[in-house]
Structure 1
Amino acid sequence: MDVNKLQWDLTADQVRTRTDALIHRTLQVYDSVGTLDIGEVTYENTLKVLANVENEYVVEQRNLIFLRYVSQHEDVRAASTEADKKLSEFDVDMSMRSDVFQRLVALQERINPKALKPEAKRYMERLLKLGQRNGLHLPNKIQSELKDTKKQISELCIEFMKNLNEDTTILLFTRDELGGLPEDFLGDLEKTDDDKYKLTLKYPHYMLTIKECYIPETRRKMETAFYSRCKDANTRILEKLIPLRAKAAELLGFCSHADFVLEMNMAKKRENVAKFLDQLYQKLKPLGEEERSFILDLKRKECAERGFKDGKYGHASCFDLQPGCLLPDGKRQIVVSALVTNFTKPTKNVPSLLQHAEVATFFHEFGHVIHQICTQADFVMFSGGNVETDFLEAPSQMLENWVWEKEPLKRMSRHYKNGSPIPDDLLEKLVQSRLANTGLINLRRIVFSKLDQSFHTKSFANTAEEYAQLCEDILGIPASPGSNMPATFEHLVDVYDGQYYGYLYSEVFSKDMFHSLFKNNHLMDPEVGTKYRNCILKPGATLDGMDMLKNLLGREPNQNAFLLSKGLVVEQEEGFPAENPKFQNQDWGKQTSGATMY
């Protein structure tokens, strides 16, 4: 058996042929399990067979679908997108196999739980739980309606993502309209016959322009265009998805789609999510108002000084292509993960010099890779990133911390010409800049989280109107006129639907872990790193997130480090656990005892 089963040079015809073959092979296995005599089901002929085919299916499926994001050939990307649609529909069909579900129920009744390893027992319980969440205990009429609804949802999600991935919008600007952008960046841009510069809406162009260009009208045009990508098509899709998800949740006996997805998460209930977001909003609101006032003052001064009037895959992601698990022969499958990024390109005279934000993005996504690589799960269902969605970002957010610490920053950076290190004063300013605008940044994340929760607790939504209202209410800043940010928000159609709060929720855990274990002179400590690896990364999803955190911390997690990282004061009575003395009286904590830092 090949160690690496993945293949990147497939033709469009091969993608189609292999998709059909994968469906055929997998269907045969499900049919074989579904036709077993109920009285003859065993671990070997039911659970083990399903686990083996799941691994084979997952690896081949991800290979075929990955090509839509990275292939240079349009026909291959199109074939891969069609494969995604076909396989997603097949996924729905297999998830609704009541005959297979009945065999699993029979197995649970027949088998002695003590005869199974803990992970195998968890796997059986998870399959049964997923069967119930797919409605396999409900009457056939409801199952049929649910299957049709899920297929519609799947197709709409794929179309939404396809629209964004294939967006080729270009904006044209004169040299004067791009004031503030680096000369090497401008020198590498394509130009029109009348000497205008072409800017795309991919992240390297968009983020640099928004951050560095000092022409307000240019930034306004880029912002509006960015949040208007695929506006008409994706708004229609999103406003079809919301009622379909609500319908599916209702068929399954849930009050809303949010209630449905949260059942499997650490937060459990939308009331807990609402409380978390509302409390954080109240703490961040004064900080955000202070920052907004400060920024507006800077804006007025800049306008006066300059004489202005007031007025393919697009970013970065980790793809888990060949998950870690045990193969049928008992050997461990090698993990293969891919980082697909859009970072600053080299120019004719300068190599690719990454912005600090790009380095942070790389570390974040590489945190997902490490999670995959270090997992030692037996079953593919419990490999790496298959943890609860509101714990999923914790390992990736953990790794981000190292790009804000002086020691690792010195190790990873040099002047590209003379090899000199970053000057200490510049390094100090970079580290302190972590708290710049943290109030507004995190209030914006609350807007997205509340928007996601709002969409998924009802059966209809005017997406543009709701987003604009939340921007006004929480940020005090209007949305870009004529745009519709939700139509560009891909997390609404991937694994984060009803769960975008998970980014902030996970950060509570990542900050607690980092400042409890690594922050105080343990950044490069192999003993501490090994403990983190064994307690958090190695188990994958074989344990619940809260159990892994307790094993690592020796206590329940808390929000103290998270709040301090946002520039907020932690009251003495909220103090740190006595069993964690090294986390007290840190310089970092003292620095943030004030309301904010710029």
Structure 2
Amino acid sequence: MTAVDAGLPDFSAMTPEDVTRACEDAIAACDAGVDAIVATPDAERTFANTLGALEAATDGVSQASGQYAFMAYVASEDALREAGRDAEERIEKYLVDLSFREDLYAAIKAFAERGESLGPDEQRLLDFELRDYRRNGFELPEAERARVRKLSDELVSLGVEFQKNISEWDDGILVSRDELAGLPEPFVDSLRTEEVEGETLYRVSLDYPEFFPFMGKARSSDLRRTLFAKEQVKGGDANVAVLERALAARREAAGLLGYDSWASYAHEVCMSKERERVASFLADLRERLAAKVEADVALMAEVNGGPVNIWDWRYCHDQLLQTRFAVDDFEVAQYFPLDACLEGLFAVSQNLLGVRFEPRPNAPVWHEDVQAFDVYEADGDEAFARFYMDLFPRPNTYGHAAAFTLRGGRVLPDGSYQKPVSAIVANFTKPSADTPSLLRHSEVETLFHEFGHILHQTLTRATYARFSGTRTERDFVEAPSQMLEHWVWDREVLASFTRHYETGEPLPDSLLDSMLAAKTLSSGVMTVRQLYFAHLDQAYHAPGFDGDSTAATRELHEITSFPYTPDTHFQSGWGHLFGYDARYYGYLWSHVFG
């Protein structure tokens, strides 16, 4: 046990009943705190008994969400995962209700009118609270404000349903051993098999450790197309309908609040401030990329022996890596065992930031694969933060890579600092009986990216939870994570931790030279895909959008320089549309800082 353990649940023994009870207890405690704020006479209002008290009351709800509703994304048991989803929806709807309480608004407004002299952090917190009330419609007539509230509730439910449909989507293709030509034996051995009419077939799923290698190395374009088309309908028609209901609700809410679109509403509280500025940024970037994209596609067409479809580009990229640079993803992966990657990641972070990370093998975790680490000052003897690493796929759990805040940092009333807790969830290849988890270089980049979020969350010293860690402007939040991505292209950093999983030999200089030489290979195509996503997100949330998300997806696809795949609707599986709505451009925007 360390000081970080205080207040954390026993994740290893958590039950659905625990999740429900923790959620309800947190809400009840928050209600009590808010009622006390409201009951305080206006003449006696201070920052501490109004905004300070509200910060404390809502932080308990945030922790219940971070530690219990979090089970919706990571729990292996169906019932626990479902309880997590229910808790997530219950808490988010409660926070919507709280943000529309007129008596609480009156209390905060009364405090603001007293004109108490505030420090910069306190003034910012007050400004943000008043801004939130304005953006919730508190300057509107009561009937219109009630409609905004109803739409906000609806958006919570739609978001939970959307993510559930993605997490529970399970599809793939069955292929023969011959159809796996081009893929290495360890990959083939890792696949599940099924007996069909006396033949052993191999199942390639949509999980990242299977999908991306197959798209990059399988020689059959037809099979790549089949798998790609399945990936592009993840979430199904049901999620298209959910999304379009959400887009309509956002559009209506923005109109009621006096904005011309949800994009304008979202950008107001971002660094960009205006949707026109985002549109200009994206248009400028597209123009700058045009020549590189054209050259990338031409090179791929040369390799492909003709026009390139979107399910071909990863294969063409891989062929170019091998033939022009003598770089093979799976050969490179042999020098990136996960344990060595973590050692390197930790070493460079510790040396740069003056901290150290200590494993906590006895910390309760939600699955045996999860590891816990405490964070210390380099010469300190008391942990000040913790992070968990849940790095391998499991059925029906979170299917991408992300960092979650389980407990935000903030200054407590006694002057001590609440110890932040975070978690990385990813989907890397699991170790086998005779081979450790080996990461392709792109996966090493993902690991470093997500750890950038972890550092942002755990090293925070923000006074208030409202501004803690990654609770920043959405178009800045990716900057620290993208900064860390650059480290996996640094010769000195790579030389410090790469080693062959069998021999222990470092990554050969010749192979590293080739990797660095190939760094910008296909970079135009890769970046313009992100540009397409950003444009599409803006289109969904712009004035004049007609509500047909699939039509927009199809019409804007020409930005990628590849033909659109008929009968697909990738937006149904695009989880960023809830949480990064109208702000996906932030990934490209953050490159300026990262």
Common fold by TM > 0.5: yes
Instruction: Tell me, in whole angstroms, the C-alpha distance in 2 between the residues paired with 1:285 and 1:302.
Output: 18
Is 2:190 the counterpart of 1:188? Answer: yes
Q: Which residue of 2 is the match for residue 247 of structure 1?
A: 252
Q: Which amino acid aligns with 1:461?
A: G
Q: 2:520 aligns with which of 424, 435, 443?
A: 435
1:332 aligns with 2:334: no
Q: Does structure 2 conserve the Cα–Cα contact (< 8 Å) formed by 1:63 and 1:321?
A: yes
What's the counterpart of residue 59 of structure 2?
55
Partners of 1:5 and 1:342 in 2: CA distance: 28
In the alignment, the residues of structure 2 paired with residue 166 and residue 506 of structure 1 have an alpha-carbon distance, to the nearest angstrom, of: 31
3-state SS in 1 of match to 2:424: strand
> Structure 2 CA distance, aligned partners of 1:151 and 1:31?
22
Contact map agreement 2:271 2:475 (CA 8 A) in 1? yes
1:288 aligns with 2:372: no
User: Which position in structure 2 is the counterpart of 1:64?
Assistant: 68
Kindly report which structure 2 residues correspond to 1:145-156, keeping only aligned pairs within 5 A, or say none: 145-156=147-158
Deviations 1:328-376 (A, max 9, x none): 2221011111011110122232111111111100000000001112211
- Once the two structures are TM-superposed, the CA of residue 2 in structure 1 deviates from its matched residue by 7.0
Change (3 A) 1:323 1:399: same
Deviation of 1:432 (Å): 2.2
Greater relative contact order (CA < 8 Å, ≥ 6 in sequence): 2
Give the CA deviation at 1:443: 1.2
1:391-406 alignment runs, 5 A limit: 391-406=476-491
**Percent of aligned positions that are identical:** 35
**Counterpart contact for 2:61–2:91, Cα < 8 Å:** no
CA distance in structure 2 between the partners assigned to 1:479 and 1:34 by the alignment? 56
CA RMSD in angstroms comes to: 1.7
- Match for 2:574 among 485, 489, 493? 489
Partners of 1:18 and 1:266 lie apart in 2 by: 36
- The whole-number CA distance in structure 2 between the counterparts of 1:289 and 1:461 is 32
| 1:213 aligned onto 2:218 | yes
For the residue of structure 1 that corresponds to 2:411, the secondary structure is: coil
Give CA-to-partner distance per residue, 1:429-463, whole Å, 9 cap, x none: 11222201111111111111110001001453221
CA distance in 2, matches of 1:347, 1:357: 21
Deviation for aligned residue 1:214: 1.9
Cα deviation code 1:224-249 (max 9, x no counterpart)? 11111122111001111111001111
TM-score between the two structures when normalised by the length of structure 2: 0.82
Alignment partners' CA distance in 2, 1:402 and 1:86: 40
* CA distance in 2: counterparts of 1:175 and 1:2, whole angstroms: 49
2:550 partner letter? A
Question: What amino acid is aligned across from residue 547 of structure 2 in structure 1?
Answer: A
Matches of 2:438 and 2:306 in 1, distance apart?
Answer: 31
Give 2:177's aligned amino acid: R
Q: In 2, Cα distance between the equivalents of 1:99 and 1:168?
A: 47
Mapped partners of 1:239, 1:73: distance in 2: 31
1:226-265 to structure 2, matched below 5 A, reads: 226-265=231-270
Q: Which residue of 1 aligns with 2:348?
A: none
Deviations 1:260-311 (A, max 9, x none): 01001111101100100001101111211111111011001899xxxxxx9x
Q: 1:367 aligned to 2:369?
A: no
Q: Using the alignment, how far apart are the partners of 1:324 and 1:436 within structure 2?
A: 41
Shift, 1:252, TM fit = 1.0
In the alignment, which residue of structure 2 is the partner of 1:278? 283
CA distance in 1, matches of 2:114, 2:235: 53
CA distance in 2, matches of 1:487, 1:331: 45
CA distance, structure 1, for counterparts of residue 273 and residue 191 of structure 2: 48
The answer as to whether partners of 1:184 and 1:347 remain within 8 angstroms in 2 is no
Per-residue deviation at 1:253? 0.9
Which residue is equivalent to 1:169?
Answer: 171
Alignment of structure 1 residues 382-393 onto 2, 5 Å: 382-393=467-478
3-state secondary structure, aligned to 1:192? strand
Whole-angstrom distance in 2 between the partners of 1:88 and 1:25 = 16
Distance 2:205 2:528 in 1: 27
Amino acid at match of 1:190: R
Q: What is the aligned partner in structure 2 of residue 79 from structure 1? A: 83
CA distance in structure 1 between the partners assigned to 2:449 and 2:82 by the alignment: 29
Partner of 2:461: 376
Deviations 1:169-200 (A, max 9, x none): 23211112222111011112111023111122
Match of 1:466 in 2: 552
Change (3 A) 1:108 1:301: closer
Describe how 1:116-155 pairs up with structure 2 within 5 A.
116-155=118-157
Q: Does 1:298 align with 2:383?
A: no
Counterpart check, 1:350 vs 2:435: yes
Give the distance between the partners of 2:137 and 2:37, measured in 1 at CA. Answer: 19
Deviation at 1:3, TM superposition (A): 4.4
8 Å Cα contact 1:187/1:347 also seen in 2: no
Gaps of 5+ in 2: 309-314, 316-396
Matches within 5 A, 1:18-29: 18-29=22-33
Structure 1 alignment gaps of length 5 or more? 304-309, 511-598
Comparing 131-140 with 29-38, greater Cα deviation is found at 29-38
Alignment of 1:300-315 (within 5 A): 300=305, 312-315=397-400
Give the residue type in structure 2 aligned to 1:479: Y
Count of residues in correspondence between the two structures:
499
For residues 159 and 315 of structure 1, the distance between their equivalents in structure 2, rounded to whole angstroms, comes to 17
**SS at structure 1 position matched to 2:423:** strand
- Which whole-Å CA distance do the structure 1 matches of 2:498 and 2:6 have between them? 33
Check the 8 A contact 1:184/1:349 in 2, yes or no.
Answer: no
Report the counterpart of residue 44 of structure 1 in structure 2: 48
Q: Contact 1:321/1:337 (CA < 8 Å) preserved in 2? A: yes
1:508 match? 592
Amino acid paired to 2:540? F
For residue 399 of structure 1, give the secondary structure of its aligned residue in structure 2: helix
Task: Write the letter of the residue equivalent to 2:92.
Answer: S
Contact 1:15 1:80 in 2 (8 A): yes
Indicate if the aligned counterparts of 2:233 and 2:572 stay in contact, CA closer than 8 A. Answer: yes
CA distance in structure 1 between the aligned counterparts of 2:488 and 2:4, rounded to whole angstroms:
37
Change (3 A) 1:5 1:434: farther
Q: Which amino acid aligns with 1:509?
A: F
Aligned residue number for residue 111 of structure 1: 115
Call closer, same or farther: CA 1:479–1:348 in 2, change over 3 Å. farther
Q: Which amino acid aligns with 1:70?
A: V
Larger mean CA deviation between 97-106 and 268-277 belongs to 97-106
2:493 to 405, 408, 416: 408
